[in-house]
Structure formats: C-alpha cells, structure tokens
Amino acid sequence: MAASAMNKAPFLAALLPLALLVAGCDRAAPVEEAPLAGAKLGGPFALTDQDGRAVTDRSFAGRYRLVYFGYTYCPDVCPTSLQVLMGGYHQFAKASPDAAKKVVPILVTVDPERDTPAVMKQYVAAFGPELVGLTGTPAAIADAARRYGVSYGKRQDEGASGYLMDHVSAAILFGPAGEPIALVPQDGTRDQVAAELAKWVR
C-alpha cells in the first residue's frame, strides 16, 4: 500500500497544474465598463407623453431607455435618425425578444411650441408602437435637455415661412436605474444599433 501511494504522488503532482488551468477557463471574462459610466447625464424630468399622460423619469424605472431629442417638423436629420434607431431596435427585438422588452425607445421634442401630444402621437406611430413621444412646457423641455446634455435653439431662415430647430443629434442608452451607458450610433446603420443594444442590455 505504501509503494502504491508513493507511485500516485508524482501523478497527482502532475495533474495539479492542469486542474488549475481548467479551473481558470471557467472564470468569466471581465465585464467591459460602459463608455458613459459616471457621466453626469440624465436625471429627473416631468413631461407629457403622446397620449396626454403625465410622465416622469420614474415611469421608466427598471427599464433601459434609448433617448433621442428631436422634433416632428425636422426635415431630414430626425426622421433619418429615428428610422435607423427604430430599425435597429426592431432587428434587436427579432433576435432577442425578451431582452428588447426591457428597452423603451424615447423621443423628447425640442419644439414644444408645435409638438403637442396629438402631433407627437401621429409622428411616433410612423416608427413603431414601441416609440414613446414626450413633450411638455418650454421650461420642462429646457430642464430635461440640460440634464441630458442636449443644446438646441430656434432658427428662422430668411424668406422661410416657418422656423427650424438646431439641436444636438445623439441617442443615448440609459440603464434600468437611469445611469448613462453608451451612445448609440443613430447616424450609423441598423446593424450597428442592434449590436450596441445587444452589447449592453442584459
């Protein structure tokens, strides 16, 4: 018995490094830090949705929020960006329906003078039933835009019958607790949007 135990000792010693190596393979890869982690973006707001209901940031607690500021009278940038964003969202939803249910796409107007709830309702419906449209008083919109890092202003071109709104065009993904996660490439492709959502939505 003693000789048998001695013969096993070198064998067990040889197996130990292999066992440690295999154990190391089971370790999860480190989670990548969100690009916007710690950024001072987002926060409380009190606005009105496309159905005329009062909405606050707490209305979306527990869900990821894909937030874009724009306006319904925008001639080109906003509709193009929303087509890409919502196309990417729908692509993500097709591949990961359960994960997509955790995401709420949101359009916040920078033109509350013209973007009433009724106008917003008709507009957001063109991009999909999941898109929430938010408007409010000029003061409430200004406060929300400031918190979300969006600047905007009215522009009246010479000879034009109406005005345009100059504004920052960016889509930001926020986490379930309202924390900023990453910019979503609304100026890219639907594939890129879907990939970004798949990367961060858990």
Mark the binding-site residues for Cu cation, compressed into ranges: 74, 78, 167
Looking at the chain, list the stretches that DSSP marks H as alpha helix, in order from N- to C-terminal side. Answer: 2-25, 77-95, 97-100, 117-125, 138-147, 190-200
Residue-level length of the chain: 202
How many of the other CB atoms lie within 10 Å of CB of 55? 19
Question: Quick one: DSSP state of residue 137?
Answer: -
What six digits make up the tokens of 184? 């979503």
Query: How big is the CA angle at 117 (ends 138 and 108), to the nearest 5 degrees?
Result: 55
Residues of each annotated binding site? 74, 78, 167
CA–CA gap between residue 58 and residue 131 (Å, rounded): 17
Say if residues 64 and 168 touch (Cβ distance below 8 Å). Answer: no
CA–CA gap between residue 201 and residue 38 (Å, rounded): 18
Say if residues 85 and 105 touch (Cβ distance below 8 Å). Answer: yes
CA–CA gap between residue 48 and residue 109 (Å, rounded): 11
